[in-house]
């Protein structure tokens, strides 16, 4: 198990950098390019393990993908109905996005696909896609314990898919996307209504590929079967979730000025920026470009302003759910109490993120109160934490990265265990921190 020892930062973070390409957009681009009519060019795909799982999945379905690195990749689409049966199970690794969206892609194709994953992914709930896909005439079965369906999941169906109106009990871009992807080949209208608006990358990409979407407010719908998907020519923006860790680190270290260039500025992803500004953080953003409905530009964070506690409410959690671990880090050094409410979905991520965030903060000496669907953090009003202990990431990349950020502000070096999981989303995190820290290494293998 890889461990990283994080030293306290002895100087501000200064400079500009780019973060990896947006994971959420990358998953969707690979899936939709593979079903398009023609050759798509995708540039800026992130190097993490999760997106690699989606690429391997599409290749196993007969999609030819060539190229690597900054020059981009070429995806030779097989059309909406041209995917081939895989030779064996598809390994989704640790990526719930891969598993859930892929289920919508392979549903009702006349052959069965077995979706598998690692130990962590194999306990995450899949009934939220299995039940609505079954309503669309797909055959879906998985391992069932109590009321939960988990991987391995077998998805198939010999009969044509039928459109349906789905009313989700919780906002979920993964579930919404799964059902819209299935709806591309279903007869009739497929509609998804959410209790709150979730990220809209799938809708943006479908529109860029010529699919007409309808609906308003919290409902999106399409009429199938679609005739074809246009190929994509897409430069992925930087991942806003990865940028959040660098921005919070800058806010917490007085004198820091960090620019994140080329980052995605989709409003459905920037709830964490709104929360940090509400806490008193100095963050500026500027839109500089747009591609396939996705805005991109620069985010700048300036450190030194005192932070204050706030309430992060259920209505805004779909726009910042992935960033709650690092928002909790900001709350740990703010003045007063910060409440995270209505975020019970965090218990079904790579870890039970509520429990593990609470455990991580307590390892630093932060006062935290845990609830079934959230937690309270009482901050130190800027007083540095002691550090010097060990933090267990529990195999969760966002917990590991949040612990690294908090450790930078502590008085003593802190050991972050199982830090290798950071490669799932941001393999170059430690190199980026060293560059911003005037070339000095702050994270070393322990």
- In 124-270, which ranges are continuous DSSP H helix? 127-135, 173-183, 201-208, 240-252
Give the pLDDT confidence of 63-104 residue by residue, as tens digits.
999 998 667 999 999 999 999 999 999 999 999 999 999 999
The domains of the chain, with CATH numbers, are 3-21+237-445 (3.65.10.10), 23-235 (3.65.10.10)
Q: How far apart are CA 141 and CA 412, in angstroms?
A: 50
Q: How far apart are CA 117 and CA 89, in angstroms?
A: 10
- Kindly indicate the confidence band of residue 242, based on its pLDDT and cuts at 50, 70 and 90: very high
Instruction: Give the DSSP H/E element, type plus range, for residue 183.
Output: helix 173-183
Quick one: which of 51, 48, 42 has its CA closest to 24?
51
Q: How far apart are CA 272 and CA 405, in angstroms?
A: 16
Give the pLDDT confidence of 266-309 residue by residue, as tens digits.
999 999 999 999 999 999 999 999 999 999 999 999 999 999 99
How far is CA 287 from each of CA 19, 23, 198, 240, rounded to the nearest angstrom?
16, 20, 21, 13
Give the pLDDT confidence of 358-411 residue by residue, as tens digits.
999 999 999 999 999 999 999 999 999 999 999 999 999 999 999 999 999 999
Residue 166 CB burial class (10 angstroms; 0-12, 13-18, ≥19): buried
Strand order in the sheet with 3-6: 390-392, 414-417, 3-6, 443-445
Q: Is residue 138 within 8 Å of residue 161, measured between CB atoms?
A: yes
Token code pair at residue 93: 């690794």
296 beta partners: 264, 289
pLDDT for 70: 67
With a cut of 70, say whether residue 1 has pLDDT above it.
no
- The sign of the torsion formed by the CA atoms of 131, 133, 135, 139 equals negative
Q: Is residue 38 within 8 Å of residue 439, measured between CB atoms?
A: no
Q: Examine the residue annotation and report whether 322 is marked as an active-site residue of this protein.
A: yes
**Three-class secondary structure of residue 360 per DSSP:** helix
φ, ψ of residue 212 in degrees (nearest 5)? -90, 120
Which of 50, 259, 322, 376 is an active site residue? 322
The full length of the chain comes to 446
pLDDT for 406: 98
Radius of gyration of the chain (CA): 21
């Amino acid at each position: 198990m890889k461990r990283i020892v994080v030293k306290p930062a002895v100087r501000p973070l200064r400079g500009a950098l780019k973060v990896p390409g947006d994971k959420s957009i990358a998953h969707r681009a690979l899936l939709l390019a593979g079903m398009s009519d023609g050759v798509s060019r995708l540039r800026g795909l992130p190097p993490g393990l999760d997106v690699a799982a989606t690429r391997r999945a599409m290749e196993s379905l007969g999609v030819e993908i060539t190229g690597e690195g900054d020059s981009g990749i070429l995806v030779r689409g097989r059309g909406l109905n041209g995917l081939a049966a895989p030779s064996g199970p598809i390994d989704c690794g640790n990526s719930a996005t891969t598993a859930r969206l892929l289920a919508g892609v392979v549903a009702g194709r006349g052959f069965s696909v077995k979706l598998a994953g690692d130990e962590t992914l194999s306990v995450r709930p899949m009934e939220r896609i299995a039940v609505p896909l079954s309503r669309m005439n797909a055959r879906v079965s998985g391992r069932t314990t109590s009321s939960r369906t988990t991987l391995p999941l077998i998805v198939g169906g010999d009969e044509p898919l039928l459109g349906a109106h789905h009313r989700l009990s919780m906002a979920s871009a993964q579930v919404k996307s799964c059902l819209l992807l299935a709806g591309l080949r279903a007869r009739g209208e497929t509609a998804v209504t959410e209790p709150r608006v979730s990220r809209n990358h799938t809708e943006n990409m479908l529109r860029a590929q010529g699919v007409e979407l309808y609906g308003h407010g919290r409902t999106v719908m399409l009429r199938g079967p679609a005739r074809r998907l246009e190929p994509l020519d897409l430069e992925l923006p930087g991942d806003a979730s990865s940028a959040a860790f660098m921005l919070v680190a800058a806010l917490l270290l007085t004198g820091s000025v960090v620019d994140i260039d080329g980052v995605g500025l989709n409003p459905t992803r920037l709830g964490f920026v709104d929360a940090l500004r509400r806490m008193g953080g100095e963050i500026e953003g500027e839109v500089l470009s747009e591609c396939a409905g996705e805005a991109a530009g620069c985010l700048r964070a300036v450190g030194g302003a005192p932070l204050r506690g706030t309430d992060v409410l259920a209505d805004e959690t779909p726009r910042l759910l992935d960033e709650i671990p690092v928002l909790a880090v900001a709350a740990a050094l703010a003045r007063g109490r910060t409440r995270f409410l209505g975020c019970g979905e965090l218990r079904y991520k790579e870890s039970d993120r509520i429990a593990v965030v609470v455990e991580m903060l307590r390892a630093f000496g932060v006062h935290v109160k845990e609830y079934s669907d959230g937690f309270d953090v009482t901050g130190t009003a800027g007083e540095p934490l002691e550090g010097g202990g060990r933090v267990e990431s529990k195999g969760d990349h966002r917990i590991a990265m949040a612990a690294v950020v908090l450790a930078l502000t502590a008085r003593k070096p802190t050991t972050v265990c199982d830090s290798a999981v950071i490669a799932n989303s941001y393999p170059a995190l430690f190199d980026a921190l060293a560059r911003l820290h005037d070339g000095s290494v702050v994270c070393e293998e322990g």
